[in-house]
Amino acid sequence: MSKELTQISEIGEFGLIDRISKLFPVEDEGTALGIGDDAAVIVPSEKDILWSTDMLNEGIHFDLTYTPLQHLGYKAVSANVSDIAAMNGIPKQITVSLGISSKFTVEAVEALFKGIKQACSDYNIQLVGGDTTASAAGLIVSVGILGEVDPDRKSLRSGASKDDIICVTGDLGAAFLGLQVLEREKQVFQANPEMQPKLDKYKYLVERQLKPKARIDIIHELRDVGVVPTSMIDISDGLASELLHISKASGVGVRIIEDNLPIDSQAYDAAVEFNISTTTCIMNGGEDYELLFTISQEDFKKIEKHPDIHFIGYVHDKPNENILISKQEQVIPITAQGWKHFD
């Protein structure tokens, strides 16, 4: 016998907030007061404060046909943590605001917040507040995040210089290919609801799409070896787009070596299966939430043997010359074809 679900209207907004707040007791020494008052109280530090926010809209940024609410909650936090990591900072507190349509039950909202709570635990951050409101259509998740960074360790997009080495973490293209798998299985299911999705051999790709992890680990590791990236950005809209952001902000050009671009073997196999160029997946896929950064030549020795940092090119002094050197030694201009928010 299935458990009867609770409509939000039965307990109201304040009842919902009360249930959520019990999941998030104040456990961070930088937070004097969390959920429950008109505003949170944050204890100031001597570090520079970082603030960012990100919004996910149902039907635009996620599809609940194949996105578990718990994973969505985790991803919403990861996307914001990644922005703080991209400044070489450490995340501290978040707020979460929801627009909820009448189709969602209390249990559905609790599932979303279970994912948020898991992310808070993984990234060592505190949920300190937010808001809930009715939505005419679908679900809206908006996360605000507060972080901090030592003033002399900030990494901006604008700091790259000639001869800097261009680095990326992890592997790229997997999240995009995970999305292709999920969309294909959705179409199969819609054509025949008796068909069960076949995801076993795509587990890594699907997880990269549904539950990405921000690379805060790299921020700690760079600090431990004394490396401050000269510029940095997270890869949310595709490698090509992020390279062009650094190029424009720093007034430099980039030269990327195709042979050095990292891709997971499962992603490579899926790209072949979907008949998509692996380089296209890497350069234009997006949502990997890895880090793209530049370092000085002097810092190369400090991280050259790091197993999860890849050296994909270098910076030069011609701002209008952003190029990829193909495996056939062809010179290909880098163009951004990734996620465009208002297309």
Arithmetic mean of pLDDT, 148-166: 96
- Cβ atoms of 158 and 247 within 8 Å: the answer is no
Last residue of a domain, one of 123, 152, 181: 152
Mean of the pLDDT values across residues 307-321? Answer: 97
How many folded domains does the chain comprise?
A: 2
| Whole-angstrom distance, CA of residue 331 vs CA of residue 323 | 6
Question: Is the predicted pLDDT of residue 133 greater than 50, yes or no?
Answer: yes
| 245-264 per-position pLDDT tens digit | 999 999 999 999 999 999 99
DSSP-derived letter for residue 268 is: H
SS3 277: coil
Span 54-74, pLDDT tens digits: 999 999 999 999 999 999 999
Mean pLDDT in residue range 125-153? 92
326 with 289, same domain? yes
CA–CA dist 100, 109 (Å, integer): 9
Phi–psi pair at 114, nearest 5 degrees: -65, -40
3-class state of residue 104 by DSSP: coil
Q: Report pLDDT for 342.
A: 37
Euclidean distance between CA atoms 201 and 333, whole angstroms: 34
Residue 4 within any structural domain of the chain? no
Examine residue 341 and state whether it is found in any structural domain, yes or no.
no
> pLDDT band at 190, cuts 50/70/90?
confident
The model's pTM is: 0.90
Whole-angstrom CA distances from 258 to 169, 263, 334 are 15, 11, 11
Q: For the segment 11-57, what is each residue's pLDDT rounded down to a tens digit? A: 665 566 567 666 666 666 666 655 566 565 767 788 999 999 999 99
CA-CA-CA-CA torsion sign (278, 284, 289, 292): positive
339 part of a folded domain = no
Last residue of a domain, one of 152, 168, 190: 152
Instruction: Tell me whether residue 342 is in a domain.
Output: no
Examine the domain organization and report whether 306 and 173 are in the same domain.
yes
